[in-house]
Chain A
Amino acid sequence: MEIKTKSKLEKVFKSGAMAVTSECGPPRSSDPAHIITKGHLIKNHVDAINITDNQTSVTRLCSLAACIHLKLEGLEPVLQMVVRDRNRIALQADILGAASFGINNVLCLSGDHQSFGDHPKAQNVFDLDSMQLVQTVRHMRDEGKFLSGDEIKLPPNLFVGAAANPFADPFKIRVPRLAKKIAAGAEFIQTQCVYNLEKFELWMKGVVERGLHEKVFIMAGITPMRSVGMAKYMARAVPGMDVPEELIKRLSGVPKDKQADEGINFAVESIQRLKECKGVSGFHIMAIEWEEKVPEIVERSGLYPRPVVD
């Protein structure tokens, strides 16, 4: 397969190996130490590290700066970009900025609505939507042009990803929606956290039937539950999240001090099962403020050591 960028993630996918990514949320502070520490904690167990972009609409150290910190440490960041806070001028400028630091991966997202965050009275932008951002990055890279049509002397060379949520409604458009993102130019996909494995497999079946798995690398999202409280909260309050009752029961069935272990067990079992699911090319492990558990999950899932690509 032709390698188009310098992305390590692209190389791992195209080597035929299962890829592994994880993610770190930047601090609500100007001190980068925390994110650098988190990056080093997981660097040997993942191929690339997503840096979230003001996730849940809470203001944080910006994704681009955090990516630069990781890049300067020799790590491979994935720049998450939401279209909520920046217009096409700022987005394209940040893409050039990222490329200028050798950042090789971008994940294009809509972003949670600002009403969830710390500035619910903020204006939102949504000049582009997430698919149009995918198109924009591909246009900049492949055509060497800005959206305006003006030429870019040295185009940014990024590997372009998007998100998919098989659990959001309406279910019937979730495969067509993936097809649309691929048509827009998405090269890899990271999904919403998978807890309902049957539903995910049903979605993947539809993906494979249309041959979409041959056009894009799909990474299943994995987030270990730390407690039954977290599972209940996600089931109740997080839009587009599907947490089956059986999982809540399973976590409730063990003593409180063992629930985190049970959450890790479920994450590992999920990965082991989905490794066999046709069309799955890797895993995106989002251990929210629990990054120290990523190495254990990766090792126990049989995804360690990570392949070496040049």
Chain B
Amino acid sequence: MIVGQQKPFDEIWEMVKGHKQLTVFGCNTCVAVCHQGGNKEAEILASLLRMRATQEGVTIEIKDGGIERQCEHPFFESAKDLLGESEAVLSMACGIGVQFFAEKYMNTPVYPALNTTFLGDVKSDWHFTEKCQACGDCVLGATGGVCPVSRCCKRLLNGPCGGSTKGKCEISKELDCAWQLVIDRLEALGKMDDYEKLAPVKDWSKDRAGGPRSFKLEGF
């Protein structure tokens, strides 16, 4: 899923404080799972903004609402009325939702309340870790199901580097060395010989480097 983290409150306040009316919209899917951008968090953030407005003597009408998924048209139907009354929108969605808003409502300013941080898993209710960079050319079949592109800080395809120490990465003792995990998996699978297969130079044109990506289903 997409993981996001709320921006510092002061940064959010600076973006929105000039408006007379603002609606904070939660996005109740990915970013709700990580407790950063769901409808509940939208309600809390709206309250905090109202308090800040009072403290600073600024008049802003602040409402809150929710859109189940801010990246698909049908989910906007239920919020139509509230949107119609909104001078500006503070979106609690990931960057995708914010842009979907911007594209859909040409004349309504929209601000991001979150920094979209990574594509990751839910290790526990409170712990989320990056697992994919959407490089467009998955190598997991060759690496025992451990992604070196997202999990090695040098995205080495033929790792580990010389900084791997006791299973940890050279940049942090808190961070697992992805290549240690690859090797552990290859060993568990009885496929250590695969380690010596040279990974070819990667085609990064399928990654961000190739420009914005899209695809269309033929005959759908």
Contacts and interface: CB of A to CB of B under 8 A. Distances in A.
B181 to A, nearest CB: 10
Contacts of B200: 132
Contact of B201 (A116, A128, A169): A128
B159 A129 contact: yes
Interface in A4-49: none
Interface string A254-293: 0000000000000000000000000000000000000000
B58 interface: no
Given A126-B156, A169-B180, A183 B165 contact: no
B201 A135 contact: yes
B204 A179 contact: no
A215 interface: no
Nearest to A132: B201
Contact of A176 (B162, B163, B177, B195): B195
Given A113-B170, A170-B183, A176 B196 contact: yes
A135 B198 contact: yes
27 contacts: A110-B154, A115-B153, A115-B171, A126-B154, A129-B154, A129-B155, A129-B156, A129-B158, A129-B199, A130-B161, A131-B198, A132-B158, A163-B162, A164-B162, A170-B160, A170-B164, A170-B180, A172-B183, A173-B195, A176-B192, A176-B196, A183-B198, A239-B162, A239-B164, A240-B164, A240-B165, A240-B170
A112 interface: yes
Interface residues of B, number: 29
A180 B162 contact: no
Contacts of A54: none
A141 interface: no
B164 A88 contact: no
A115 B196 CA distance: 29
B213 interface: no
Residue among A110, A111, A136, A172 facing the most chain B CB atoms (10 A cut-off)? A110
B145 interface: no
A239 B164 CA distance: 7
A168 B159 contact: no
Nearest to B193: A176
B175 to A, nearest CB: 11
A127 interface: yes
A228 to B, nearest CB: 22
Given A110-B156, A126-B156, A180 B164 contact: no
For chain A, the bracket of interface size reads 35 or more
B201 A192 contact: no
A54 B163 CA distance: 17
A127 B204 contact: yes
Given A84-B154, A129-B154, A135-B201, A110 B161 contact: yes
Interface in A128-172: 128-132, 135-136, 147, 163-165, 168-170, 172
A124 interface: yes
A173 B183 contact: yes
A132 B155 CA distance: 13
Contacts of B73: none
Contacts of B154: 84, 110-111, 113, 124, 126, 129
Interface in A170-198: 170, 172-173, 176-177, 179-180, 183-184, 192
A240 B201 contact: no
Nearest to A191: B162
Interface string B160-202: 1111111100110000010010010000000010011011111
A131 B158 contact: yes
B171 to A, nearest CB: 5
B53 interface: no
Contact of B170 (A112, A126, A164): A112
A192 B158 contact: no
Contacts of A163: 162
Interface in A206-257: 239-240
Contacts of A110: 154, 156, 161-162
A290 to B, nearest CB: 22
Interface in B107-151: none
B157 interface: yes
Given A169-B167, A177-B160, 10 more contacts: A116-B171, A128-B201, A129-B159, A131-B198, A170-B167, A170-B180, A183-B196, A239-B163, A239-B165, A240-B170
A235 B163 CA distance: 13
Nearest to A88: B201
B135 to A, nearest CB: 12
Given A129-B154, A132-B157, A240-B170, A113 B196 contact: no
A82 B156 CA distance: 13
Contacts of A127: 202, 204
Greatest chain B CB density within 10 A among A135, A147, A168 is at: A168
